[in-house]
Amino acid sequence: MSLFKLKEFPGTGNFRHGIHPPDNKALSQGSKVEVMEVPESVTLPLLQHLGVPCKQVVKPGQTVRYGEMIGEGQAFVSASLHSPIAGKVKRVNVVTLPNGRHLPAITIQADGDQIPPQKLWDEMRSKNWPRDCISIYDPLTIVKIIHDSGIVGLGGAAFPTHVKVTPNDTRMIDTLMINGCECEPYLTCDYRLMKEAARAIVTGALLTGRAVSAREIVICVEDNKPDAVKKLKEATEQTVIKIAVLKTKYPQGSEKQLIKSVLGLEIPLGGLPSDVGVAMSNVGTMATVARGVIKEAPLTHRVISVSGRGIKTPKNLFVPIGISLGEVIKFCGGITRDAARIIAGGPMMGFSFSDLSAPVTKGTSGLTVLTHDEISQGEETPCIRCGRCVDACPMNLVPTRLALAARYNNPSIASQYHIHACFECGCCSYVCPAKINLVQLIRTGKTLVAAWASR
């Protein structure tokens, strides 16, 4: 029950609980997107998301062109892979991604004439993206192009987009929501994309809206990005697209919370946005859809942000998928002496890693390099049941109960308290005065419950 409402939308513009970490966006938000030159080689994992790895369709020694398909999607929940450079296939080896997964990956060495990446970025930023005559594109054709272009969600989970937009008679889509919230601290890649390439986002949104036959298209942005909102408003003039400006709070950009904020709907536990008639996609994904349909080019590049006080020069970069994270860090001047953790993603849910040869994948939103002063402080002390974690959890769970059930080997309590509803946002660990890493305990708890449930 709330006294507030979001103008034009059924929701209140807010969701329960959550936290307000300092956003630290000032470090990189002022840097215009810079284009990195074509690297010497790129390494492309055959699986960059949930689902089935794609099948390699090139052989070592084979010459490939820019945009040539090197991996073919094998199942419905699978995405194709395309080469971001012209070159020769060197080998297939195993890489370890920051999330710990070991995956086969194709390495391509740059060879021959390259399309200048600056041209690709300039194309993205141009004002020429169409806003009318979207109806010349047939919905199923749009879905097919999305599939063939290897497009996955660029928001982080990298879920294959064609799965989200394939029409389904049992789950009709009413509202297409475009996620420009970027609620993680430090990250600014979506912000810069909205500021510099709003027209591409809008075209992609209109195309995707047509593919799912959505009644409404809404772009959602947090209120700490007023100039991005301004650019989006200009870009959406005379279109049906609405813009929802939401209270800045973590995790506003999480799909369950965002749908609640804007539409007032709750996705059933274990369900998907399509259960409440919503399809949600990141702004970066939308720009990539536009490129795929209008320019007939596959997903080969993305914008990432590199920030934190542990990196010498924070920047926003336009990079090819597959460039090594070490090269990206070097381009930003390297890490500082007091750097403590290098994180792929944001500081709340990102993965810290040490292997700098790992590549940028389709779901890499950026790097956050934190110093010893910026990372979590404090040694663990006993839980005093203060309840702050309960007050912070956006899913309305009882994190202390879940974490201590995990620690003391009690899978039935963990299951009873809905441990699987936790999406590991990190709010509970953030606020805990006893400095217990509740999220890590909950992660082990989920494994405990899975083992117990299958015995």
**What part of residues 311-350 is at the interface with another protein (CB under 8 A)?**
335-343, 347-350
50 sits near another protein (criterion: CB under 8 A)? no
Binding mask of the shown chain, residues 7 to 36, with x at each position contacting another protein by CB under 8 A: ---------x--x-x---------------
Nearest to 246 by CA among 228, 220, 226, 227: 220
- Give the CA distances from residue 261 to residues 226, 286, 379, in Å, rounded to whole numbers and listed in that order: 18, 21, 35
Q: Which two tokens stand for residue 276?
A: 């409440």
Residue range at the interface with another protein (CB under 8 A); choices 2-10, 227-235, 277-285, 432-440: 432-440
437 sits near another protein (criterion: CB under 8 A)? yes
Pick the closer one to another protein by CB: 230 or 312: 312
Buried b / exposed e over 22-47, threshold 16 CB at 10 Å, is ebbbebbbebebebbebbebbbbbbb
Pick the closer one to another protein by CB: 213 or 396: 396
225 sits near another protein (criterion: CB under 8 A)? no
| Count of residues that interact with another protein, criterion CB under 8 A | 71
- Give the CA distances from residue 270 to residues 227, 256, 275, 443, in Å, rounded to whole numbers and listed in that order: 36, 11, 10, 17
Pick the closer one to another protein by CB: 256 or 315: 256
Contact call for residues 66 and 114 (beta carbons, < 8 A)? yes
Pick the closer one to another protein by CB: 102 or 385: 385
Nearest to 148 by CA among 343, 272, 254, 293: 293
Interface residue with another protein, options 41, 179, 400, 410 (CB under 8 A): 400
Interface residue with another protein, options 203, 236, 368, 410 (CB under 8 A): 368
Contact call for residues 72 and 54 (beta carbons, < 8 A)? yes
Pick the closer one to another protein by CB: 233 or 312: 312
Alpha-carbon gap, residue 109 to 289, rounded angstroms? 27
Contact call for residues 173 and 143 (beta carbons, < 8 A)? no
Pick the closer one to another protein by CB: 287 or 406: 406
The three-class DSSP label of residue 319 is strand
Neighbours of 240 (CB within 10 A): 12
Interface residue with another protein, options 50, 115, 434, 450 (CB under 8 A): 434
248 sits near another protein (criterion: CB under 8 A)? no
- Please report how close the Cβ of residue 422 comes to another protein at its closest, in angstroms: 9
Residue range at the interface with another protein (CB under 8 A); choices 137-145, 172-180, 202-210, 420-428: 420-428
Pick the closer one to another protein by CB: 245 or 348: 348
Alpha-carbon gap, residue 146 to 210, rounded angstroms? 13
Alpha-carbon gap, residue 377 to 357, rounded angstroms? 29
- Please report how close the Cβ of residue 278 comes to another protein at its closest, in angstroms: 13
Pick the closer one to another protein by CB: 103 or 390: 390
Binding mask of the shown chain, residues 369 to 398, with x at each position contacting another protein by CB under 8 A: -x-x-xxxxx--xxxxxxxx-xx--xxxxx
Interface residue with another protein, options 354, 408, 454, 455 (CB under 8 A): 354
Q: What is the 3-state secondary structure (H, E, C) of 320-375?
A: ECCCEHHHHHHHCCCECCCEEEEEECCCCCCEECCCCCCECCCCCCEEEEEECCCC
The β-bridge relationship of strands 315-320 and 301-307 is antiparallel
Q: Which two tokens stand for residue 407?
A: 């620690």
- Please report how close the Cβ of residue 57 comes to another protein at its closest, in angstroms: 34
172-191 residues in contact with another protein (CB under 8 A) are 185
Q: Which two tokens stand for residue 22?
A: 């300092």
435 sits near another protein (criterion: CB under 8 A)? yes
Pick the closer one to another protein by CB: 180 or 251: 251
Residue range at the interface with another protein (CB under 8 A); choices 47-55, 162-170, 191-199, 264-272: 264-272
Pick the closer one to another protein by CB: 417 or 452: 417
SS3 content of the chain, % helix, strand, coil (to 5): 30, 20, 50
- Please report how close the Cβ of residue 190 comes to another protein at its closest, in angstroms: 19
Binding mask of the shown chain, residues 275 to 314, with x at each position contacting another protein by CB under 8 A: -----------------------------------x----
Written as one string, the DSSP assignment of 202-220 is HHHHHHHHHHHT-SEEEEE
Is residue 360 classed exposed, middle or buried when 0-12, 13-18 and 19+ CB atoms within 10 A define those classes? buried
Binding mask of the shown chain, residues 113 to 142, with x at each position contacting another protein by CB under 8 A: ------------------------------
